[in-house]
Chain A
Amino acid sequence: MTSTAPASLRKDARGQAPPFRRILVANRGEIAVRIIRACHELGVEAVAVFSDADAMADHVRTADEAVRVGPAPAQESYLRIDAMVEAAARTGAEAIHPGYGFLAERAEFARAVEEAGLVFIGPRSETIAALGDKLAARRGAANAGVPIVPGTLEPAAVDRPDDAAAIVAEAERIGFPLLVKAAAGGGGRGMRRVTTVEELPAALAAGSAEARSAFGDGSVYLEREIRPARHVEVQLIGDADGRVIALGERDCSLQRRHQKLVEESPAPGLDGEQRRALHAAAIRAAEAAGLVNAATVEFLLDPDGRFWFLEVNTRLQVEHGVTELVSGVDIVREQLWIAAGRALSREIVEAAGRAANPSRHAIEVRLSAEDPAREFVPSPGRIGRWAMPAGPGVRVDTGVGAGDRVPPDYDPLIAKLMVVDVDRRAAIARLARALDETVVTGIQTTLPFHRFVARHPRFAAGDLSIDWVEEEWTPAVERDRARALQAASWAAASAPVAGRERAADPAGQARPGSAWTSEGRARAVDRWPR
């Protein structure tokens, strides 16, 4: 395969040479496509990687060249550091963008890239290592004067019974309920909720064992459970000169099992002063860790309006698009320039100056191959129809389409539907409209949940909480599905099937003698202006 961009076009709008000649995108799906798009806009060639499950995937077709890295299981393909570095070397890529997930927050990957003489498009490996240790990150934030969630700063002595009294005293100081969390953790693994002191020893042992098997590190610590709470995070970008700016915050409170479902920016209900304080705290936490390139600092917001530092994600976030829509900054493009050694652009510095007083509102929903009626269990399979929304203020990032197979091997996210408008109320109306245009058949998706959110008065009121899904969706899901089933049954019974027509006849064809009602056609005529 050859480059799609002729040499004369390999420059950005200002006529500068591109940041790199060619980079490798060490990821798949929608985020690989999104990064490849940024590359092509900058005149950079993009090399994709793929497993056997993805040989025909969008990101492979979009790239200038593609390298097979292994069979379908991620452990044998997208999680192979050696294969990624080798693929970059073989194709002459100068840099590697890790996307999110897979190897994005593995310090040893960033180190291997650096040691191979290539550029890792993200924070330095030392920064990833320092912030990947949640306890080290907590200590760093606390030292920088950022309020951290009350709890411990050193690993709990899980294996030493003589220290049991000390840890119990510590737990009582923090207060119940509290959480046992893994220092190397993420995604809720190694996490245990403890409501009484009696439960503590077992929770420490279980959490530690789970953390050891998941991350190879059994260190756990204690944190007070802040509940109810909202999840609010700040998008940061830093350059090699040590300058770090905040591009605004996002509210990602609507979650299920620590997986975000809906994200928006700005976080509703904050005033300019609260925003400035929050952004400043995030910048302090990142500067303490020497952040270069993009990262996100996560906080919990309690009902009294106080922010508590949670952790730092040293990568591009899934939900970076809502920040791009509000700020007007292309974060991936900025990542490439910074990785190439350039200072923060004037545009991004100006955008950061406006971040405390945003003039637009963006919302993203994560359309996933999951069944929202069965506790969001994965529902991979082959996509039939695929209609994504369009029109003013709508952005769709995806890596699949009609007829594609969603493999069971990876994350179930299939598309990110984003809307932007002048304020939150308009953005919600636009979201509802966009979701009405969205059609996916062949697999169950989370679309019913998103439709529910977009029309919910509590969402419209900005009354968000990490318990929202449990409190609102769980009691409503059965009825929501039953109504759709009723309508689906009527539609199916009216179609020319059930023993009268040929099998495998396209169901919707209205033909003489079919069971479609003539009243329907009459009403259809009535509905439109003549």
Chain B
Amino acid sequence: MTRRVRVVPAPASLMPGDRSIVVAPDDPAEVVVEPFGDGRAVVHGPDGTDRWAYLGSANRLPDGRSVVEVVVDGWRFELELEDDHRATLRERATRARDASASTGPLEVRAAIPGRVAAVTVTHGDEIEAGATLLVVEAMKMQNELRAPRAGRVERVAIGAGETIEVGDVLVVIA
């Protein structure tokens, strides 16, 4: 049986427009990935291009998926890998759960590390989608963090002057 792998950018790498792709690595296909040891490989694409890929160590997630860092042409991706058959089963389960919980509280997390320069909302504020929640200063630049949807501020988890890391919960919107 041919193994099929579903690949999708992990949340840290995901951009609008990115889709998961399903790859059958054992297929005789026009794509050839040629290993060069130590995580290096050349990807011979169907269009005749050769690109170097640099792979990091794979980290296994508790749910069985793997996350691996891959850098190609200077672009860095964290990719989630999952057996395609398994992915289909898991998604079915997730959809069922989401259907009952789509109005739950939303945790806004840090996408970049830095220092909180200002917090512009407080507990209980009613906010519109796109409202500025706080300003993060990273590398001399001020980055405004905006509300992904409207709602009421249920919790402000950080204060001005604090240092934050990627993934830290900053604000919870109910």
A508 CB, min distance to chain B CBs, angstroms: 3
A383 → chain B closest CB, angstroms: 11
- Pairs of residues from A and B, 9 with the lowest C-beta to C-beta distance, nearest first: A447-B74, A503-B60, A520-B34, A508-B39, A493-B23, A491-B53, A507-B55, A378-B139, A484-B75
B26, B68, B69: the one within 8 Å of A384 (CB): B69
Interface residue count on the A side (C-beta < 8 Å): 68
Interface assignment of A505: CB less than 8 Å from any CB of chain B: yes
Contact segment of A33-41, A167-175, A406-414: A406-414
Do A491 and B41 touch (CB < 8 A)?
yes
Tier of interface size on chain B: 35 or more
Partner of A498 from B41, B81, B112, B140 at Cβ < 8 Å: B81
Partner of A495, one of B58, B72, B115: B58
| Distance from A100 Cβ to chain B, minimum over Cβ atoms (Å) | 13
CB-CB under 8 A for A517 and B112, given A384-B69, A494-B33? no
- Other A-B pairs, 13, CB within 8 Å; known A373-B15, A487-B49, A509-B38: A374-B15, A380-B114, A450-B74, A485-B72, A487-B45, A489-B7, A490-B33, A494-B23, A499-B83, A503-B60, A504-B59, A520-B34, A523-B44
- Which residues of chain A are near B69, meaning CB under 8 Å? 384, 441-442
Cβ of B33 and Cβ of A485 under 8 Å apart?
no
CB closest residue in chain B, given A508: B39
Q: Taking CB as reference atom, which chain B residue is nearest A446?
A: B74
**Residue on A nearest B24 in the bound complex, by CB:** A493
Chain A's closest residue to B82 (CB) is A498
Within 8 A of B (CB), among A432-466: 435, 438-448, 450-451
Q: Does A377 contact B (CB under 8 A)?
A: yes
Flag whether A497 is at the interface (Cβ < 8 A). Answer: yes
Chosen A-B contacts, 5 in total, with CB atoms closer than 8 Å, are: A378-B114, A439-B71, A446-B74, A492-B81, A506-B38
Which residues from chain A contact B86 at a C-beta distance below 8 Å? Answer: 499
Q: B28 touches which one: A478, A510, A519 (CB < 8 A)? A: A519
With an 8 A cutoff between CB atoms, is A215 at the interface? no
- Please indicate the chain A residues that have their CB under 8 angstroms from the CB of B140 in the complex: 410-411
Asked if B103 is at the interface of the complex by the 8 Å CB criterion, the answer is no
Question: What A residues does B15 contact at CB under 8 A?
Answer: 373-374, 478, 481
Residues of B within 8 A of A (CB): 3, 5, 7, 9, 15, 17-18, 21, 23, 25-26, 28, 31-45, 49, 51-60, 64, 66, 68-77, 79, 81-83, 86, 112-115, 138-141, 143, 166
- Tell me if B23 and A499 are in contact (CB < 8 A): no
B34 proximity list for chain A (CB < 8 A) = 516-517, 520-521, 523-524
CB distance A448 to B75 under 8 Å? Answer: yes
Nearest CB in chain B: distance from A270 CB, A: 31
- Name B28's closest neighbour in chain A (CB-CB): A519
Residues of chain B within 8 A (CB-CB) of A429 are none
Return the contact of A510 from the options B32, B35, B71 (Cβ within 8 A).
B35
A346 part of interface (Cβ distance < 8 Å): no
Q: Contacts A408-B112, A516-B33 given: A380-B71 contact, CB under 8 Å? A: no
Nearest A-chain residue to B31, judged by Cβ: A490
Contacting pair B54 A489 (CB below 8 A): no
Alpha-carbon distance A509/B15, docked complex (angstroms): 30
User: Which of A378, A441, A448 touches B138 (beta carbons < 8 Å)?
Assistant: A378
Q: Please report the C-alpha to C-alpha distance between residue A440 and residue B71 in the assembled complex, in whole angstroms.
A: 8
Contacts of B59 in A (CB 8 A): 503-504
A495 to B26, CA, bound (A): 11
CB proximity of A273 to chain B, nearest CB, Å = 40
Q: How far is the CB of A187 from chain B (nearest CB, A)?
A: 8
Check if A441 sits within 8 Å of B54, measured CB to CB.
Answer: yes
**B158: shortest Cβ distance to chain A, in Å?**
15
| Known A500-B3, A515-B25, A523-B34: A378·B76 in contact at CB below 8 Å | no
In angstroms, Cα B36 to Cα A475, docked, is 34
Least CB separation from A439: chain B residue: B54
Closest to A370 in B: B139
- The answer, among B38, B82, B115, for a CB contact under 8 Å with A508, is B38
For residue A517, which residues in chain B have a CB less than 8 angstroms away from its CB?
Answer: 25-26, 32-34
Cα of A296 to Cα of B2 in the assembled complex, Å: 63
Bound-complex Cα distance A529 to B59 (A): 38
